[in-house]
Amino acid sequence: MNDNIEIEFPLLQDVVYLDHAAATLYARRQLDSYMQDISNHIYGNPHSRSQSSQLTSEVVENVRERILNHFGTSSEYHSVIFTANSTGAIKLVAETFQWNRLINENRRYENDGLNSNKGILYYLEDSHTSVVGMREYALKHGADFNCISERAVLNSIENLPQVSEHDETELPNCLFAYPAQSNFSGRKFPLNWANNLKRNEISCFVGRCGRWCVLLDAASYVMTSKLDLSLCNADFVPMSFYKMFGFPTGIGALIISNESASFLRKTFFGGGTVQAYSSTEHFHVPKVNIHEWFEDGTLPFLDIIALRHGFDTLQGLAGGMHQISHHTFALAKYVHHELASYCHSNSKPVAKLYHENNFEDINIQGAIVNFNIIKDNGDYVGYSEVDKLANLYSIQLRTGCFCNTGACQKFLGLTSDKVKKNFEAGHKCGDDKDLIDGQPTGSVRISFGYMSSWKDAKRFLQFIRECFMSTNPEPCETRLRQYAEPVETRTNLFLYKMFLYPVKSCGAMEVKEWNIGSRGFLFDREWMIVNENGVALTQKRTTNLCCIKPNINLKENTLILNAKGKTPMTVPLECDVPSSSQSLCQSRVCMHRVQGIDCGQEVSDWLTDVLGQRCRLIKKNNQYKRLTKLNGEAVEVSFANESQFLLLNKASLDHLLECIQQRDHIIGVKKDDIDCQMDLNNLIGRFRANFVFASQEAFQEDNWKEVYINDLKFNVVGPCTRCQMVCVDQETGARGKEPLQILSKLRGKRMSFGVYLHLASQELNGKLSTSDSVRVVHNEIDESS
């Protein structure tokens, strides 16, 4: 689009960001000019009378005018009410709308069964959660609600019946809410619906007569399209600015037609909203200006000032809304057409696309592509799997239902009953239960912003081809099935290797014998590294953590940290008693709160030097037990993510390695050099197990119920599902695409590899050795199947 884009968005060199519909990105110059602005002026609280305060007021008023200007109108016709986001704007309308005010104020509505006298909220099926939530206020005020389809709107809106004068006085206020653009599919809905509905003071819309107002949810539309309010008669228009230019967050607006303010009746009055009030008597007079009455308390004035720099960026860097809409639409259209044309070798389609138009017309379609992937046998690939694999390609996209259950229901054919059933089956908004009984519970969405490039679109399509398009109808899955057949196995089982990982996410320490403690191997994941904000570092973001190799010297009672080219760092094993020099540190492991003890400045400096970012070492505070529940029973764990032990089967590793070496053949793409260099030890390193058993068949471990090492008993508590962490080469920190890509081919959905164990024996302090005898107990194989 523009050479400046590369300079303005340096991070996009490495990342394909395709989630602009959730939040778009901000340009470097946008931040620079904003920083200049607020560094060079004193902006005071606009409620004061000082010079700095007047400066703020003036700038804020200018920004309001700038916003209205951007939307083709001015303060003569519209007002800007600042809110936290679109949701805040929608909620403001829901709370204050005069649902049941009759046109004749003297004839108050009574609940006498005359339904036609009730107010109503209609919302389009394809509405955002925040719009659907309005119905709770409608109901609270005695109005009805109805979710209506596009067809029902179209059938009614072209020929709205006339209302006789006699009826008018009996009719209530009604509200129709619809998105200018679906945040699910990018479909743009007609802006003139609002005009038709507002043409007469009284309209009878889908059988309901009343004074109709329109809430046009513009949050998705204004990201990449020009909204001209001089051509659209909507009363209430909510939006969020971070969706337009990325920064700042936490600020949105309700643009309200000046005439429509009378439909809203506010109850609360906060700072800055009244002309006068008495604190001893029930007396207050609202300010006259619409926005002054509706904006309670101090505005986020620095954020409002930042908006100006956002609008400048849209105009200057991005070349204006016309150019933005055409550029982003062209990208979406290209991806849509390519995706629609992709077939497996058996000519079955690769993607099911969720669109009702063919991307021919920029007036009815925006820069969003929504789909699910289908295998050559017709089965769906769950969206979580697509998400995980996209990570390998540094592609960031959005999956699930996008806070738009209505669109999800429509496109995926989910009835209300099915939605409830899925919830009972454990599926919640935002989780990764992507398939239930083989049917998708959500989908995959990609969306473009003005800084998106053709390179992004092509890298996305390459990802789809490499990961999901079958070129060879006989992958090694067929061999896998032979392995998976139940076989009587009592043969050659032994303990091949043992590892612990004293510092979470750092290198492994291989041991021949080691002690068991109450929460796993002694000193396994007893330490972790946190950044300045106390956030745990993991290899997901900080891949070079693996280059730190911890070693425990039991004789000296020390933990030694090694890194290439650095003098080793020694810290004592015990620092359990917090003293004044050792502070406690709160952090999180997998969202759970944990507490650690800071190990001091010296090691912090050493780590900062090695990792190139400020960080500290913390040791688990043993006064706080961390419990985890896998398979019901709660057990104590260290800083490990989920369980006490992880076990791998060498036969599965061998099989996986073989598949990686035949990768060309299986998925029809060239190996990356980095993935070629994998050998067994390298592969073992990536899966970060505590035990590697050698058994005879691959994936036997899936069927193990109990494991005994000598006489110590362990329960198998479930499979370990894998993510992009296994693609980090533990020797170099380099990131490739394997073994995750092959794992998804071999193991499907959850990409599980290895199983978790919990210690079942009460007896602690057992010492394990690789020469110990081992045996396993299998799950009963169901004979009938």
Ligand X SMILES: *Cc1c(COP(=O)(O)O)cnc(C)c1O
Identify residue 108 by its one-letter amino acid code: R
The answer to the question of residue 470 lying near ligand X (CB under 6 A) is: no
C-alpha separations of 257 from 68, 254, 307 in Å = 11, 10, 21
Q: Which stretch binds ligand X (CB under 6 A): 81-89, 140-148, 510-518, 602-610?
A: 81-89
Tell me the window of 80-88, 153-161, 497-505, 596-604 that interacts with ligand X (CB under 6 A): 80-88
* Interface with ligand X, residue 91, by CB under 6 A: no
Scanning 214-222, 357-365, 411-419, 774-782 for contacts with ligand X by CB under 6 A, the matching segment is 214-222
Comparison of 126 and 738: residue with beta carbon closer to ligand X: 126
* Distance (Å, whole) CA 506 – CA 549: 6
Of 82-90, 103-111, 199-207, 463-471, which part binds ligand X (CB under 6 A)?
A: 82-90
Give the one residue of 100, 220, 543, 628 binding ligand X; rule: CB under 6 A: 220
d(CA 209, CA 460): 49
Is 446 a binding residue for ligand X by CB under 6 A? The answer is no
Nearer to ligand X, 23 or 723 (CB): 23
* Per CB under 6 A, 85 contacts ligand X: yes
How far, in Å, are 73, 119, 188, 511 from residue 217 at the CA level? 17, 20, 11, 61
Does position 508 interact with ligand X (CB under 6 A)? The reply is: no
Q: Which residue has the tokens 């979470």?
A: 504
Shortest Å distance, C-beta 183 to ligand X: 3
Cα angle 283-289-295, degrees, rounded to a multiple of 5: 80
Nearer Cβ to ligand X (219/374) = 219
Residue 197 CA to residue 211 CA, distance in Å, equals 9
- Per-residue contact track with ligand X, 157 to 186, x per CB under 6 A? ----------------------x---x---
Q: What are the DSSP calls for 239-252, one per residue?
A: EETHHHHS---S-E
**Residue 551's CB: how many other CB atoms inside 10 A?**
14
- Residue whose pair of structure tokens reads 């005069």 in the numeric block: 98
Quick count: other Cβ atoms within 10 Å of Cβ 528?
27
Closest distance between ligand X and the C-beta of residue 216, in Å?
A: 10
Give me the helices (H) in 108-266, please: 129-132, 135-140, 150-157, 165-168, 192-198, 221-224, 242-245
Supply angle C-alpha 645, 649, 654, rounded to 5.
140
With CB under 6 A as the rule, give the number of residues binding ligand X.
12
Position among 24, 56, 86, 372 found at the interface with ligand X (CB under 6 A): 86
Residue 252 or 520 with smaller CB distance to ligand X: 252
CB of 172 within 8 A of CB of 99?
Answer: yes
Nearer to ligand X, 130 or 643 (CB): 130
| Nearest approach, Cβ of residue 115 and ligand X (Å) | 29
Output 86 or 644, the one with its CB closest to ligand X: 86
CB-based contacts of 260, cutoff 8 Å, min separation 6: 213, 235, 236
Smallest gap from Cβ 445 to ligand X, in A, equals 11
Stretch that binds ligand X, among 51-59, 84-92, 684-692, 728-736 (CB under 6 A): 84-92
Q: Is residue 728 within 8 Å of residue 734, measured between CB atoms?
A: yes
Q: Does 83 bind ligand X (CB under 6 A)?
A: no
The dihedral over CA atoms of 50, 55, 58, 63, expressed in degrees to the nearest 10, equals -140
221 to 250, contacts with ligand X by CB under 6 A? 240
Nearer CB in complex with ligand X: 179/739: 179
The DSSP bridge pattern shows strands 767-769 and 144-148 to be: unpaired
Residue 242 or 527: the one with the smaller Cβ distance to ligand X is 242
Q: From CA 519, how far away is CA 494, in angstroms rounded?
A: 23
730 is an interface residue for ligand X by CB under 6 A: no
CA distance 183 to 728: 34
Q: Tell whether residue 452 is a contact of ligand X (CB under 6 A).
A: no
Using the minimum distance from each CB to ligand X, give the nearer residue, 130 or 443: 130
- Are 754 and 687 spatial neighbours (Cβ–Cβ below 8 Å)? yes
CB of 23 to ligand X, least distance (A): 9
Q: Of 456, 433, 466, 465, give the one whose Cα is nearest residue 20.
A: 456
Phi/psi of residue 299, each to 5°?
-70, 155
**Options 403, 546, 547, 615, the catalytic residue:** 403
DSSP for 22-72, written as a single string: T-----HHHHHHHHHHHHHS----TTS-SHHHHHHHHHHHHHHHHHHHHTT
The span of 83-91, 426-434, 650-658, 685-693 binding ligand X (CB under 6 A) equals 83-91
- Rounded least distance, CB 364 to ligand X, Å: 16
Q: Which x/- pattern, by CB under 6 A, does the window 119-158 give for ligand X? A: ---------x-x----------------------------
Pick from 30, 87, 628, 649 the residue near ligand X by CB under 6 A: 87
Contacting ligand X (CB under 6 A), which of 8, 19, 150, 217?
217
Least distance from ligand X to the Cβ atom of residue 382, Å: 24
Asked whether the beta carbons of 175 and 101 are under 8 A apart, the reply is no
Cβ distance to ligand X smaller for residue 240 or 744: 240
Closest approach, Cβ 257 to ligand X, in A, equals 19
Rounded to whole angstroms, the Cα distance separating 317 from 226 reads 16
Q: Does 520 bind ligand X (CB under 6 A)?
A: no
Comparing CB distances to ligand X, the nearer of 220 and 409 is 220
Q: Which helix (H) or strand (E) holds 338?
A: helix 320-341
Secondary structure of residue 710 in the 3-state scheme:
coil
CB of 184 to ligand X, least distance (A): 9
Kindly identify the residues of this chain, within the stretch 8-37, that bind ligand X according to CB under 6 A: none
Given the complex with ligand X, which of 220 and 328 has the nearer CB atom? 220
The residue (of 128 and 398) whose beta carbon lies closer to ligand X is: 128
Rounded distance between C-alpha atoms, residue 703 and residue 230, angstroms: 67
Structure tokens, 409: 């229901």
User: Does residue 219 bind ligand X (CB under 6 A)?
Assistant: yes
> Is residue 187 close enough to count as binding ligand X by CB under 6 A?
no
Window of 79-87, 195-203, 374-382, 628-636 that interacts with ligand X by CB under 6 A = 79-87
CA 369 to CA 260: how far, in whole Å?
Answer: 35
Shortest gap between Cβ of 85 and ligand X (angstroms)? Answer: 3
For the CB of residue 130, give the shortest distance to ligand X in the complex, in Å. 5
Q: Does 215 bind ligand X (CB under 6 A)?
A: no
As a whole number of angstroms, the distance between CA 663 and CA 657 comes to 10
Q: Is 401 a catalytic residue?
A: no
**Cβ atoms of 563 and 548 closer than 8 Å:** yes
Distance of CA 509 to the CA centre of its chain: 35
> Residue written as tokens 């908006």?
307
Region near ligand X per CB under 6 A, out of 85-93, 138-146, 156-164, 716-724: 85-93
261 binds ligand X, rule: CB under 6 A: no
Rounded-to-integer distance, Cα 460 and Cα 342, Å = 13
Chain CA centroid to CA 535, Å: 19
* 332 bridge partner residues: none
| The amino acid at 636 | E
- In angstroms, how far is the first alpha carbon of the chain from the final one? 59
Q: Which residues are catalytic?
A: 403
Binding site for ligand X (CB under 6 A): 85-87, 128, 130, 179, 183, 217, 219-220, 240, 252
